[in-house]
Amino acid sequence: MPELAPELAALLEELPGDDYGATREVLEEILAGGADTIRQLVAAVVDEFGHPPGTPAQYALHGLAHYAARPGAEAQRALVAETLAGELAAEHASGLKAFLCRQLQLCGRSREIPALAAMLDDQAVRDAATQALQAIGGEAALEALQDHLAAAGLPEVA
């Protein structure tokens, strides 16, 4: 597992928190680190999804996805969603990619549709990507799903 920056490792020790205010402060500090910090968290999950040393990073990423999706947090939502979508193109195991799709189900926007659509060809990630596309909704998400079905020779959905 990659070594986390000491400041980030210390923040992860504060999660999960029993106090919303304290947890919010931790998430704000993580977000202040920008995309590089989010990528560090993804790397800390490790490709063997569910590996106990990666659990704090998983928890932090899940918390970030929820927190960034709140009303009025468009810049934070864009940061989290765009960074997670970018990680889908990286060389990660399917389990980690499915986890990232599930986080995009919470905070993804129409801009992340192409990255999610690219995951529809991976059988191990397909369900999570489909659910994220359904959560995002809209014509572009529907078109991505229909294009995948057509490429697979399956009937179109309405």
In a domain, 135, yes or no: yes
In a domain, 93, yes or no: yes
In a domain, 157, yes or no: no
In a domain, 1, yes or no: no
Average pLDDT, rounded, for the chain: 92
pLDDT confidence of residue 144: 95
Query: Is the bond into 53 cis (omega within 30 degrees of 0)?
Result: no
Give the pLDDT band (50/70/90) at residue 48.
low
Residue 103 has pLDDT above 90, yes or no: yes
Give the pLDDT band (50/70/90) at residue 150.
confident
CA distance 157 to 102: 22
Give the pLDDT band (50/70/90) at residue 74.
very high
Record the pTM. Answer: 0.91
- ∠ CA 37-43-48, nearest 5°, is 150
In a domain, 158, yes or no: no
DSSP secondary structure of 58-97: HHHHHHHHHHHTSTT-HHHHHHHHHHHHHHHTSS--HHHH
pLDDT confidence of residue 85: 98
In a domain, 25, yes or no: yes
Q: How many domains does the chain have?
A: 1
**Residue found by looking up tokens 């990423």 in the block:** 61
Q: Which domain holds residue 111?
A: 6-151
- Phi, psi (rounded to 5 degrees) for 97: -65, -40
Q: How many CB atoms lie within 10 A of CB 146?
A: 15
HEC string of 4-36? CCHHHHHHHCCCCCCCHHHHHHHHHHHHHCHHH
In a domain, 118, yes or no: yes
In a domain, 156, yes or no: no
